[in-house]
Copies of this chain bind each other. A is one copy, B any other.
Amino acid sequence: MITNKLKKVSLKSTFQRENILEYIISRKEHPTADMIYQYMLTISPCISKTTVYNTVKSLNKTNLIKSIKFLGKDEIRYDGTVDAHHHFLCEKCGRIYDIEIQCQHFKKENIDGHKINNVYAYFTGICKECKK
């Protein structure tokens, strides 16, 4: 439950936070800050965009959500699925799919002498819907 997730990471439970987190997790669209803002306006007409940015920053820092960024797109997208996975971005419709592949490099701790902390990867192409 959403409130517990916030409690677990010591974030105060507010209407804005609960609904923003719920929105990101339940919809699978990997929304942008503006999409979150547009949705929040419908249930909280006075919300500020700054609140959206503050909130996703907190949620991201406490690992309740993840951020993703694609080349050529200048906005950050937010992902409520936090376990290791990749993404697929459709070049035609812009939809973003979660990709559950396991890469052999995912668990490496060292490459070329560098200590690895994080792995980011995504694919682009034409999605199965657009191929039809």
Contact = CB atoms under 8 A, between A and B. Distances in A.
Interface stretch (A13-21, A23-31, A35-43, A100-108): A100-108
Number of copies: 2
Contacts of A124: 116-118, 120
Majority SS at the chain A contact face? strand
A111 interface: yes
Contacts of A88: 111-112, 114, 116
A89 B25 CA distance: 29
Nearest to A67: B71
A120 B128 CA distance: 20
Contacts of A114: 88, 90, 97, 123, 125-128, 131
Contacts of A69: 69-71
A104 to B, nearest CB: 6
7 contacts: A88-B111, A103-B104, A113-B131, A114-B125, A114-B126, A118-B124, A121-B122
A22 interface: no
A99 interface: yes
